[in-house]
Amino acid sequence: MNGEDAFYFAAEAVFWLSLACFVIVVIRNLVSVIQLAVASWAFWNRPRPTARLIDLWSKGVDLAPPISVIAPAYNEELSITQSVKALLALEYPEHEVIVVNDGSKDATIDVLKRDFELVPIDRPQVAALQVTRILAIYRSRTHRNLIVVDKENGRKADAVNAGIGFAQTPLVCVIDADSIIESDGLLRAVEPYMLDDGSLVAVGGAIRVVNGCEVRGGSLRKIAIPREWLARFQVVEYLRAFLTARVANAELDSLLLISGAFGLFRRSMLVEIGGYRHDTVGEDLELVVRIHRHCRENNIPYKIEFVPEIVCWTEAPISLAGLRNQRARWQQGALETLGTHRKMLFNPRYGRIGMLMMPLLVIEDVIGPPAELIGYLIIPAAWALGILSPELALAFLALTFVFGTALSIGTLALEETQLRRTPTAADLASIAVAAIVENFGYRQVNLVFRLAGIKRYLRRETGWSAVPRVGFN
Amino acid sequence: MAALVYELSFLFLAGMLALITVLVVRRWQDEKNRGARERMRHRAARAYLARIEGGGESAAPADLPPAAKLEAVSHLLRLMRGTERDRLLALADEDRLFDPAIAASNSSRPARRSEAILTLEQFGSPRCVQTLQVLLANDASMTIKLEAAAALARLGGLPPLRDTISLLALEANRPTRLHVALFASLAATHPEQIRQLLSEEITPPLRAMLIDALSSSGDLADLGDFERAAADEEPEVRSAALRAARRVGDPRCEAWVLPMLTDPVDFVRVQAAQTVAKLGFTRARPKLKQLTTDESVWVRIRAGEALSLLPGGAS
Amino acid sequence: MAVILLADDDDILAELVRHHLERNGHQMLLAGDGEAALQLAQEHLPDLVILDAMMPIQGGIETLRLLREGDRTAQIPVMMLTSRKSEDDVVGALKLGANEYVTKPFRPQELAARVEALLRFRRSDNASS
């Protein structure tokens, strides 16, 4: 191979690679545009949130199905009392709080015993979904609707599973230990169940970033936007994820993810599929995908819905290390779920989940990050090889940036016209600025973290290859 | 080519900046006017409160925007009852405050129609009821129909029960919780229509729902209906009968509740256990003890609970 | 004339109650949430407190509990004015020391009369002790 041949070969390779990356970028952007359009349509048709349920409740109509709120707790001795009090005080006609102490190393269980006057009870477990040992069950003497399950340490999935097993209500609400639930969050989330003919199995709700807000006593006092830029970028991300992607997916009956920070499920469905899996780091995504799979394989009519009203607030990481951890975990979780359920991919048996949503997940989580990386590397390469004029390269880069920002701004417009939960005009302007600045640095950093997640996944896969994994049936 | 792409990017950028500016300016103006709007609402509220007592000699304050008046009055209506509310309603009628809602009931957006229903229900004048009846009969969306029906039920303007059921397509579809609420509010005012329907040929889910609705009014006259439902061949209806017995709380139903502890269907046994516990039927003890080893975990749980609730304690 | 503290986040309700109570010559203090209400109660020691159950920041039931725990506020009559009307809610509030429980929607004249009755009872109580 002489020098000229090598040059042509490289040029050819670079050309095709860049074309492939370009196609991936176009597909991802197209998906986002469609989601924004569908979400706008959904919002357009949807009555402004009213206090319908609260209204009925005040009329003494006993309509709302009882809910068990499952709150896992691990080493929370300092905050547990406040958090539990906030959960007990949620506005809902009939709800029980099941705190699962997941083998905390600190005094969480003692604090609970002291502050809520716990007494041991003998409560049968309807279904044993956990793999660790249950140590004791308590009921509070001060609050009849507080149950505490003390168990050996497992993962969050295992703690939640234990709690689900002790729930006796038709609905269970699964939350994170640090979730701050809106005071009417349960009422909002239960609304789809009011119009349910028996097929609704899960409801997700919008989650926002709590950083910057004033929180006291485990509940939200005042909404504000975070001071740290890293958290502000995540505010923009959460808006995009919850107001466009999830609203659109739910509108098209293909919601794949109900965040672990807040989800309202039909208890019997969770028990039927055995609860959360504890051998994946993406148990919330995996659960919803498994619900789709289970129902479609067994011809069970089912529905999964989403309420765009805010139901819950969650802490966003403000250090790069924390963000790296979270994003790498999400990435790894998505890959694990895809791996477990690869059978659903392009399988018409799974309807639009198999034919549309799973392939999109592949584009977003498997091909997307490497393609983006190659894109960043290849444009300078193409430029150096002279197959791309510098002007054109820069122009395309500009277009992608502007386009990405336009999607964020479109989402912000949805939030502002429909929900209006940004405190002031000044805050609105800062979020808009964050949506623009996000393109220069944050997105790239995020890409690195996601690639780290892919690396973790590949490493764990090889580490486990000796152990035959239990297939899902 | 590069020029075109640049131009496109620039267009996007300009559009975005324009959108942001509009949003922020709108919000900023809104913030600036918030105090004024609030004062206007308060003034409207005070004006109407004064007119309630004035016996109607004073006219509506002309300088207030209709939206402020509507907002204040509909809010007041939600808070009040009794003669003062009636007077306020008459004033609203006189001022035609609900005209925008009647217009919105023809909107092509379901969201707008749904919002109109809330306002119409609140005012509930004859013209409002008429508009709601049109929505119930003709609307394309089943959700809107149901909302209109619920509003009419509270206003006492629902068409005969048979018609309502067919307008809501309940012969073919399973009733939801909102349907149950609708029929429960109807049972409070027109129990005879529900009793009539129970004596006819209807689907089991509908029958179960009507039993639930009828018992929510707590009328002892319906015990016979419940007893008949308890012998129904559909477990769903038998369950509803047990729930009804629990709600009405009449000890006379012991004779037909006790045998249902051995019903072949587990969720009926669950209801039976809960019912005997609530009504304190101590004679159920031996059967409940057998149920603590039932094959269904729910029956075991509820039987255990019932035993600990019944007088005499868990033993 | 008496000083009456109303805690409710609903501004139109405040107008409605104020209209009926100021007419009887009472002075009204308004609080938009339970925390502000508690603070105002400790500062002004009103003759009567009217509490909504569902308020931001600190609910009415919690506020009632804190009022009853405070040395100086323990004896102030409290009227709950709320849309919660289940037996548990009513009994719970009365057990915590509420003197009156009125549910929304309410008859404004009747509310005013109940307020007078509570104030009268308190005056005669104070006079006899």
CA angle, B69 as apex, B64 and B75 as ends, to 5°? 150
C83 contacts in A (CB within 8 Å)?
54, 57-58
So where are chain C's domains?
A: 73-107
Same domain, residue pair B126 and B151: yes
Query: What is the predicted pLDDT for the residue at B220?
Result: 66
* E strands, A54-155, in order: 67-73, 95-102, 118-120, 134-140, 146-151
In this complex, do C11 and B42 lie within 8 Å of one another by their Cβ atoms? Answer: yes
pLDDT of res. B218:
66
Phi, psi of A228 (to 5 degrees): -70, 135
End position of a domain, from candidates B215, B248, B281: B248
State the residue for tokens 């919660």.
C84
Strand A171-175 and strand A262-266: pairing?
Answer: antiparallel
Q: Are A45 and B111 an interchain contact pair (Cβ–Cβ within 8 Å)?
A: yes
Q: How is A3-69 classified by DSSP, letter by letter?
A: HHHHHHHHHHHHHHHHHHHHHHHHHHHHHHHHHHHHHHHHHHTSPPP--HHHHHHHTT---SPPEEE
Please report the pLDDT score of residue A59 as a whole number. 53
Handedness of CA C5, C9, C15, C17 (dihedral sign): negative
The per-residue pLDDT for A473 is: 30
Q: What is the pLDDT of residues B254-303, one digit of tens each?
A: 888 888 888 888 889 999 999 988 888 888 888 888 888 888 888 888 88
Distance from CA of A204 to the nearest CA of C (A): 24
Is there a contact between A410 and A243 (Cβ–Cβ < 8 Å)? no
- Asked if residues A312 and A175 have their Cβ atoms less than 8 Å apart, the reply is yes
Q: Of B158, B178, B205, which one is at a domain's C-terminal end?
A: B158
pLDDT (0 to 100) of residue A297: 94
Query: B18: Cβ–Cβ under 8 A, 6 or more apart, which residues?
Result: none
Q: How far apart are CA B224 and CA B232, in angstroms?
A: 13
3-state secondary structure B278-313: HHCCHHHHHHHHHHCCCCCHHHHHHHHHHHHHCCCC
Domain boundary among B158, B174, B197: B158
Residues contacting A72, CB < 8 A, separation 6+: A99, A100, A102, A156, A159, A160, A163, A176, A177
Question: C15 and B46: CB-CB below 8 Å?
Answer: yes
- For residues B150-168, average pLDDT: 85
CA dist list (Å): B27 to A209, A410, A421, B39: 21, 16, 12, 19
Give the pLDDT band (50/70/90) at residue A3: confident
Chains contacting A (3 or more CB pairs within 8 Å): B, C
What ipTM goes with this model?
0.85
CB A206 within 8 A of CB A271: no
Q: Are residues B236 and B302 in the same domain?
A: no
The two structure tokens encoding residue A273: 């599929």
Residue A103's region, left for phi above 0, alpha for psi from -120 to 50, else beta, is left
Residue carrying structure tokens 């080519």: B1
Average pLDDT over residues A172-181: 91
B133 and B166 fall within a common domain:
no
Contact map slice: B 102-141 vs A, CB within 8 A? 109-111, 114-115, 118
**Percent of chain A scored above 70 by pLDDT?**
94
The mean-pLDDT minimum among A274-288, B61-75, C104-118 falls in: B61-75
CA-based nearest distance A64→chain C, Å: 14
Our count of domains for chain B comes to 3
pLDDT-wise least confident of A131-140, A151-160, B161-170: B161-170
Return the residue in B10, B12, B141, B144 with the most chain A beta carbons within 10 A, the one to mutate for interface testing.
Answer: B12
Q: What pLDDT, on a 0 to 100 scale, did the predictor assign at position A34?
A: 94
Tokens of B310: 């019944």
Q: A165 and A125 in contact (C-beta within 8 Å)?
A: yes
Chain C residues touching residue A219 (CB < 8 angstroms): 57
Rounded distance between C-alpha atoms, residue C85 and residue B119, angstroms: 24
Taking a C-beta distance cutoff of 8 angstroms, is the pair A290, A173 a contact? no
Give the list of residues 6+ apart from residue A100 with CB closer than 8 angstroms, or none. Answer: A70, A71, A72, A73, A148, A149, A151, A159, A160, A162, A163
Q: What is the predicted pLDDT for the residue at A152?
A: 92
Percentage with pLDDT > 90 across chain B: 8
Q: Phi/psi of residue B90, each to 5°?
A: -60, -40
SS3 A326: helix
Buried/exposed A180-205: b ≥16 CB within 10 Å, e otherwise: bbbbbbbbbbbbbbbebeeebbbbbb
Determine contact: B73 vs chain C, CB below 8 A: no
List chains adjacent to chain C, taking adjacency as at least 3 C-beta pairs closer than 8 Å.
Answer: A, B
Q: Residues A233-261, buried b or exposed e (16+ Cβ, 10 A)?
A: bbbbbbbbbbbbbbbbbbbeebbbbbbbb
In this predicted structure, the answer to whether residue A235 has a pLDDT above a threshold of 80 is yes
Report how far residue A137's alpha carbon sits from residue A128's, in angstroms, rounded to the nearest whole number.
14
Enumerate the residues of chain A whose CB falls inside 8 A of the CB of residue C86.
60, 93
Can you give the pLDDT at residue C128?
Answer: 56
The DSSP string of A362-398 is IIIIIIHHHHHHHHHHHHHHHHHHTSS-HHHHHHHHH
- pLDDT at site A251: 93
Please enumerate in sequence order all residues whose Cβ is within 8 A of that of B83, keeping only pairs 6 or more positions apart, or say none.
Answer: C107
Q: Please tell me whether residue A425 adopts helix, strand or coil conformation.
A: helix
Is residue B246 within 8 Å of B232, Cβ to Cβ? no
B87-99 pLDDT, tens digit each:
888 888 888 888 8
Report yes or no on B141 lying in a domain: yes
The reported pLDDT for the residue numbered A466 is 35
Report chain A's mean pLDDT, rounded to a whole number: 87
- Kindly state whether residue B271 falls inside one of the protein's structural domains: yes
Contacts of C106 in chain B (CB under 8 A): 79-81
Residue B269's pLDDT is 92
Predicted pLDDT at A279: 87
Taking the C-alpha atoms of residue A257 and residue B243, their distance in angstroms, rounded to an integer, is 37
Arithmetic mean of pLDDT, B102-108? 88
Of A56-65, B71-80, B166-175, minimum mean pLDDT range? A56-65
Could you tell me which residues come within 8 angstroms of residue B62 by beta carbon, excluding any fewer than 6 positions away? none
Burial (Cβ within 10 Å: 0-12, 13-18, ≥19) of residue A307: buried
Low-confidence ranges of chain C (pLDDT < 70): 125-129
Of the candidates B157, B168, B171, the one whose C-alpha atom is nearest the C-alpha of residue B121 is B157
On the question of pLDDT at A42 being above 50, the answer is yes
Q: In degrees rounded to 5, what are phi and psi of residue A202?
A: -155, 145
Q: Do A273 and A290 contact (CB within 8 A), yes or no?
A: yes
| C30 within 8 A of C73, measured Cβ to Cβ | no
What pLDDT is recorded for position B225?
Answer: 83
Q: Is A468 on the interface with B (CB under 8 A)?
A: no
Q: Is the peptide bond before C105 cis (omega within 30 degrees of 0)?
A: yes
- Residue C59: list chain A partners with CB under 8 A: 89
Using alpha carbons, select from A71, A63, A50 the residue that is nearest to residue A93. Answer: A63
State the CB neighbour count (10 A cutoff) for residue B70. 21
Do residue B140 and residue B188 come from a single domain? no
pLDDT cut 90: percent of chain A above it: 59
Per-residue confidence at A151, pLDDT binned at 50, 70, 90?
very high
Q: Is the dihedral of CA A291, A295, A296, A301 positive or negative?
A: negative
List all residues 6 or more positions away from A118 whose beta carbon is below 8 Å from its beta carbon.
A112, A138, A139, A140, A141, A148
Residues in C closer than 8 angstroms to A91, CB to CB, are 54
Chain C nearest-CA distance from A62, in A, is 10
Count CB pairs under 8 A between chains A and C: 17
**Higher pLDDT pick, B136 / A47:** B136
How far apart are the C-alpha atoms of C104 and C82, rounded to whole Å? Answer: 5
The stretch B1-24 carries a mean pLDDT of 87
Per CB-CB distance under 8 Å, the chain C contacts of A214 are none
**Is residue A174 very low, low, confident or very high in pLDDT (cuts 50, 70, 90)?**
very high
Nearest to C16 among B49, B82, B83 (CB): B49
At A55, is the pLDDT very low, low, confident or very high (cuts 50, 70, 90)? low
**Structural domain includes residue B171:** yes
With beta carbons less than 8 A apart as the criterion, state whether C30 and C14 touch.
yes
Q: What is the mean pLDDT of chain B?
A: 85
Interface test with A, best of C9, C82, C83, C85 (most A CBs within 10 A): C83
pLDDT band of residue A467 (cuts 50, 70, 90) is very low
* Edge-first strand listing for the sheet containing A146-151: A118-120, A134-140, A146-151, A95-102, A67-73, A171-175, A262-266, A200-209, A303-314, A180-181
Interchain proximity A48–B20, CB inside 8 Å: no
Range of the domain at B111: 67-74+89-158
